[in-house]
Chains A and B, each alone.
Chain A
Amino acid sequence: MITGTKPSVDYCHEIHLHRSMVNRIRDLLNRSLLGKPHVIEHVLACLLARGHLLIEDLPGLGKTTLAKALATSIGGRFSRVQCTPDLLPGDITGFSVFNQKTREFEFLPGPIFAEVLLVDEINRTSPRTQSALLEAMAENQVTVENVRYDLAETFFVIATQNPSDHHGTYPLPEAQLDRFAMKLTIGYPHQDHELEMLASAVGPCCAKDTPTIQAVIQPADLHHLQQHVAAIKVSKNVRRYLVDLATVTRQNGRCSPGLSPRGVLTWQRVAQAWAFLQERDFVIPDDIQTVADAVLGVRLNTRGDTTDLIQEILRTVKVPVLDE
């Protein structure tokens, strides 16, 4: 880790600890999803930045596998919601039932009370149900029948959606999209990795035959890591660069609307996490450019090719180098 001032022994020890924790998660995820280190790096960044993740890809590419492996690795509770058009908000948040013994209403917590929530095919459910996630994702709490329930500190949503299937889907509203930190696509694996995958599938018959995944860290450790990432330094010229980029998205006619202030905040947080993953304790413009695709991809609502638009935006703004 490169630091500006001479680091103390304690600090070095702490850094080492953080590194080893992240490496353990990374190894585990890499073993679960073969040949996708770049995607896993982004997932890690999203996790460390306390953002939520939207994965948009075809069925069967490992979205659920990835989510489950992540949930297991951080040792928290994992729950899954399979979205259908008749799913109700209460099915996610939980609801009160009348206890015959106590003669009182009791709150039955829904799947949202978990460390990692996998919302599968989120665009299949109605906007009403989608909105149930808004408060949870933004403020880490849910309100049911006027009672506020806090969620876990490290609450993390992984939502998946299927791009090719448009029938019977409700596209996510912009308000919902803005609450995700990034959107990723996994893509088909390389042939070598596919071969390896096939080889490992010969033998085990059912789920219990496969080696079980053990948690590598505890939710408290993750919370500690997230606190550390939030303290990564962002210099003034880099902040100015971010603001310039945001201004350009607002002025560009092809983006409607431009990047929201919450989006800029998220972008900075993700860049901080990326810098942490690159073993740095300060953010450089490279970090911002690297995560731009994932962060802006979920926010910029365009008809054409989003990648082209993001490249165009990045080309418009000058990288801060020396004070000129």
Chain B
Amino acid sequence: MYATLILLLCAISAVQLLRSAGTDSTSWLLEGFYFLAGTLLIRQLGLPRLRSARPWVRNTLVWALLGSGYAMLLRDSWPLIGTLVLEEWIILSLLGLAFIRFVHHDGSGNFQQIALISVIIVVFALPGVDGTFRLLLITSLSVCGSLWLITSASGINGRWTLLYSGCTILLITGACLWIHWLIQPQDTALRYAAWVPSSGGDTAGTPNAKRGKGDGPDEVLSESGDSIGFDLGNTFSESGRDGLYDLWLESYGQPLEPSESQKMVGLKPSEVRVVLGKDREDLRVGRTFELRRKTPSRPENSRLEHSSSARVWVKGPMPVYIPLCVFSNYDGSKWEEMEHGRPSVPVRRTADNWMELLHPPVSLSLDPHPTEYDIRVGNLGGNILPLPGLVERFRMGRVNRGDFFASTRSGLIRLSTRQLLAGATLQAVCRQRNPSTVFEVPPALARHAVPQMLDTGPVDNVVHRIAEEWGRDRQKGWDQITKVLNRLRAHVVLDKEETVSPASESVRELLTLKRRGPDYQIASAAVILLRSLGYPTRLVSGLYASERDVNPTSGFAELGSEHVHFWIEIQLADGTWMTVDPSPGYPMWNLPMSVGQWFAEQWSFLRDGITTYPVTVAGSTGVLLIGWFSRRHLMNQIATWVCWARGNRVQDVWRVLELRSRLAGCPRAPFVTPGRWLGCLSSDPDTLRYVRHLNQALYNGAAELDPNTTESANNILSFMTLRWFIQKRKEFKR
């Protein structure tokens, strides 16, 4: 029970650590709390059980545990020292564990305790290390764990050893893979590839790469602010077309323009004529995004091979949303971009070519500590700077004139007259929303908003009714918005290949019929739903990068056409726009989630599941419960059936008895005679009769059971399953 408690606590801590690690500087407080609580629990419950171990064994374990925890705390204060110390400690603990295991192989070692402590170390230490180390750690521990289990599984002999060992290794590997998946380390293959010196590029197979490890500074991935940027050897595009407009076409397919007759026939989207995009970037103000599109035809190459087509490289805290286009007007089938308005200079130059915004974002919900992003521009085109939201100041290479920059009406920074060239380097200092204060600022009131931001366009009344129904029993404000968006996320499935039929209205079709669609449709639906409830909202497209896009060698995330994404922004009462992602699978608030929120979300998901499929849930729960309570009878029936199928001879019964005892974990030792073994388990008259017949069969050559006592075989089996190996198991083991 203690072990279960400790593991539960560790699991909660791990979840908490995963959710909060890295993005919030105050999260170390929480980490510390969980770590201390865990240490105390282990000290109170775990260490007394280790009393019989040698002192140095105990001390090694305790120090390994304490050390890794404190190192993790240290890491948050002084990253470099902390990481180094942490790695040292993990190596030490692993070595200690392995050493203990292999020195004390006399069978008296506290395998269970050691295994328990190692699990705790893994759970505590894993969130703190980076991908390569994490993988090594998991591999080593899975090997150690397998050895422990195999060697401590006594009483298994002969041909079963292989089966048991195989099963154990599979089990542990599965568990480790599950942990691996849960923690989601960064791209493992890339890490391995990075160990091998290559001739440049990210993989050994990149043909055009010229530089590699040890060839001098890499200008492409350089972190230096004075870098001159890319050279042409590293950036090459696959097509002559540039710009965000082409990124859309690449990601979401060409827009549809059905004729009236085709609308009436209701042809499939793929059969409808395609309106080809323009060859060059559509730079006109007020460009549109058609919601009805053809299924995109993607290149078949994998992402790794395709990395040279990245448009932007970003380094900094992940996940990050880079807005490139803001849409405000919706006419039922397409979105239209906000007009740029009169050009003005939005920035002021300060020391070291930093451009400071004249109107930086001011909000109570912002975190006081800014975060920094390092951005390299690839083949992006256009004139919008790919900066994350809520920028405070930025620097672009050696540009030292503020009038190079202008802003759009929606607040994005752009180059005033020039095009953005490949190779530009950007550094930006941005603000983040603080998870603890973000909900203290209410969304903007409808009467204070620009009317454009509340216009739902010619949308069917069904959509309005859905919005009202979803937000009915909630208070106006974040409570309602959260409810509606959560319902939307649970209601629809993200599917980038899905398209709407040309003759229908896309939002209504998504919500009522298909419940499946790409992110631009889900985001559109979210905007329409929130607007019809009176919240000023707008649709934003741009690039999205998460932790798993980061190249571990360079620390940069490479963003290409597959990272084009649509999300929404909600206006707050203080005038700032808050990024919210309604697509299922994406972080909704662009903020880490607290344990409470996580549980609340899980609970609401569970509740929704139960209310949606009550019969299925009740039925399967019932079946599980019935199965659990009648497990002995089920086992008994199965075994009896096996005996019957084998011929019901006394030897067959014996085989099943032995097999079942082995599966129950208390097998007969090979030197114990059948009579003594069975007699030790039961002195029932049936058993004694069976033992006599068994001896007769084994040592006097009788093949068949006496017909008068045939039923005793079945009685024995029932008796054994129902009483011996379940109730007497503990007693027997003792």
Enumerate chain A interface residues (CB-CB to B < 8 A): 2, 4, 233, 235, 237-238, 280-286, 289, 314-322, 324
By a CB distance below 8 angstroms, the chain A residues around B670 are 318-319
By a CB distance below 8 angstroms, the chain A residues around B680 are none
Nearest B residue to A233 via CB reads B700
By a CB distance below 8 angstroms, the chain A residues around B702 are 4
Partner of A286 from B651, B655, B675, B701 at Cβ < 8 Å = B675
A286–B673 touching, CB < 8 Å: yes
Nearest A residue to B706 via CB reads A2
In the complex, 21 of the A-B residue pairs with CB atoms within 8 angstroms, ordered by the A residue number, are A2-B700, A4-B696, A4-B701, A235-B699, A235-B700, A281-B700, A283-B699, A284-B698, A284-B699, A286-B673, A286-B676, A289-B673, A314-B671, A317-B671, A319-B670, A319-B671, A321-B658, A321-B698, A322-B651, A322-B654, A322-B655
By a CB distance below 8 angstroms, the chain A residues around B651 are 322
Residues of B678-731 at the interface with A, using a CB-CB cut-off of 8 Å, are: 692, 695-696, 698-702
A286 to B651, CA, bound (A): 18
B674 interfacial contact with A, CB 8 Å:
yes
By a CB distance below 8 angstroms, the chain B residues around A285 are 673, 699
A282 to B696, CA, bound (A): 8
> How many B residues have CB within 8 A of the partner chain?
21
A134 to B696, CA, bound (A): 39
B672 interfacial contact with A, CB 8 Å:
yes
By a CB distance below 8 angstroms, the chain B residues around A282 are 695-696, 699-700
Nearest B residue to A316 via CB reads B671
A238 to B701, CA, bound (A): 12
Partner of B673 from A235, A237, A284 at Cβ < 8 Å = A284
By a CB distance below 8 angstroms, the chain B residues around A319 are 670-674
Given the contacts A321-B654, A322-B651, A322-B654, A238 and B671 also touching, CB distance less than 8 Å: no
A289 to B676, CA, bound (A): 10
* B158, B699, B702 interface centre (most CB from chain A within 10 Å): B699
Smallest beta-carbon distance A234→chain B, Å: 8
Residues of B331-366 at the interface with A, using a CB-CB cut-off of 8 Å, are: none
Smallest beta-carbon distance A322→chain B, Å: 6
Per-position binary interface string of chain B over residues 430-458, scored 1 when its CB falls under 8 Å from any chain A CB and 0 otherwise: 00000000000000000000000000000
By a CB distance below 8 angstroms, the chain B residues around A2 are 692, 696, 700
B699–A238 touching, CB < 8 Å: yes
Smallest beta-carbon distance A175→chain B, Å: 31
A315–B699 touching, CB < 8 Å: no
Smallest beta-carbon distance A315→chain B, Å: 5
Smallest beta-carbon distance A5→chain B, Å: 9
Taking A319-B670, A322-B651 as known contacts, 19 extra A-B pairs with beta carbons closer than 8 A to each other, sorted by chain A number, are: A2-B692, A2-B700, A4-B702, A238-B699, A283-B699, A284-B673, A284-B695, A284-B698, A285-B673, A286-B676, A286-B695, A289-B676, A315-B669, A316-B671, A318-B670, A319-B673, A319-B674, A321-B654, A324-B158
By a CB distance below 8 angstroms, the chain B residues around A322 are 651, 654-655, 698
Smallest beta-carbon distance A222→chain B, Å: 26
By a CB distance below 8 angstroms, the chain A residues around B696 are 2, 4, 282
Smallest beta-carbon distance B513→chain A, Å: 64
By a CB distance below 8 angstroms, the chain A residues around B671 are 314-319
Given the contacts A2-B692, A285-B673, A286-B673, A237 and B701 also touching, CB distance less than 8 Å: no
Smallest beta-carbon distance A243→chain B, Å: 15
By a CB distance below 8 angstroms, the chain A residues around B675 are 284, 286
Smallest beta-carbon distance B22→chain A, Å: 58
A217 to B655, CA, bound (A): 46
By a CB distance below 8 angstroms, the chain A residues around B658 are 321
A238 to B651, CA, bound (A): 17
By a CB distance below 8 angstroms, the chain A residues around B700 are 2, 4, 233, 235, 281-282
Nearest B residue to A320 via CB reads B698
A281 to B696, CA, bound (A): 10
* A2, A281, A314, A316 interface centre (most CB from chain B within 10 Å): A2
In the complex, the 10 A-B pairs of residues with the closest C-beta atoms, listed nearest first: A282-B700, A318-B670, A285-B673, A315-B671, A235-B699, A286-B673, A284-B699, A284-B695, A4-B700, A319-B673
Smallest beta-carbon distance B397→chain A, Å: 79
A120 to B675, CA, bound (A): 39
Nearest B residue to A318 via CB reads B670
Residues of B637-681 at the interface with A, using a CB-CB cut-off of 8 Å, are: 651, 654-655, 658, 669-676
Nearest B residue to A234 via CB reads B699
Smallest beta-carbon distance A309→chain B, Å: 15
A320 to B494, CA, bound (A): 64
Smallest beta-carbon distance A120→chain B, Å: 37
A284 to B651, CA, bound (A): 16
Smallest beta-carbon distance A323→chain B, Å: 9
* A315, A316, A319 interface centre (most CB from chain B within 10 Å): A319
By a CB distance below 8 angstroms, the chain A residues around B655 are 322
A284 to B701, CA, bound (A): 12
By a CB distance below 8 angstroms, the chain A residues around B674 are 319, 321
By a CB distance below 8 angstroms, the chain A residues around B669 are 315
Nearest B residue to A238 via CB reads B699
A285 to B672, CA, bound (A): 9
* B158, B654, B695 interface centre (most CB from chain A within 10 Å): B695
Given the contacts A315-B671, A316-B671, A319-B671, A237 and B699 also touching, CB distance less than 8 Å: yes
By a CB distance below 8 angstroms, the chain B residues around A283 are 699
A317 to B675, CA, bound (A): 16
A195 to B675, CA, bound (A): 36
A202 to B701, CA, bound (A): 55
By a CB distance below 8 angstroms, the chain A residues around B692 are 2
Smallest beta-carbon distance B378→chain A, Å: 69
A320 to B674, CA, bound (A): 10
A38 to B189, CA, bound (A): 73
Nearest A residue to B669 via CB reads A315
Smallest beta-carbon distance A173→chain B, Å: 32
A315 to B700, CA, bound (A): 24
Smallest beta-carbon distance A307→chain B, Å: 16
A235–B695 touching, CB < 8 Å: no
* B655, B669, B674 interface centre (most CB from chain A within 10 Å): B674
A56 to B50, CA, bound (A): 47
Nearest B residue to A237 via CB reads B699
Smallest beta-carbon distance B679→chain A, Å: 9
Nearest A residue to B654 via CB reads A322
A281 to B699, CA, bound (A): 10
A23 to B161, CA, bound (A): 49
Smallest beta-carbon distance B687→chain A, Å: 15
A280 to B675, CA, bound (A): 14
Per-position binary interface string of chain B over residues 189-229, scored 1 when its CB falls under 8 Å from any chain A CB and 0 otherwise: 00000000000000000000000000000000000000000
Smallest beta-carbon distance B469→chain A, Å: 69
By a CB distance below 8 angstroms, the chain B residues around A233 are 700
Smallest beta-carbon distance B161→chain A, Å: 14
Smallest beta-carbon distance B155→chain A, Å: 13
By a CB distance below 8 angstroms, the chain B residues around A280 are 695
By a CB distance below 8 angstroms, the chain B residues around A286 are 673, 675-676, 695
Smallest beta-carbon distance A36→chain B, Å: 23
A319 to B674, CA, bound (A): 9
* A233, A238, A318 interface centre (most CB from chain B within 10 Å): A318
A324 to B698, CA, bound (A): 13
Nearest B residue to A289 via CB reads B673
By a CB distance below 8 angstroms, the chain B residues around A315 are 669, 671
Given the contacts A4-B696, A318-B670, A235 and B676 also touching, CB distance less than 8 Å: no
Smallest beta-carbon distance B221→chain A, Å: 64
By a CB distance below 8 angstroms, the chain B residues around A317 are 671
A240 to B692, CA, bound (A): 21
A315 to B155, CA, bound (A): 13
By a CB distance below 8 angstroms, the chain B residues around A237 are 698-699
A312 to B354, CA, bound (A): 85
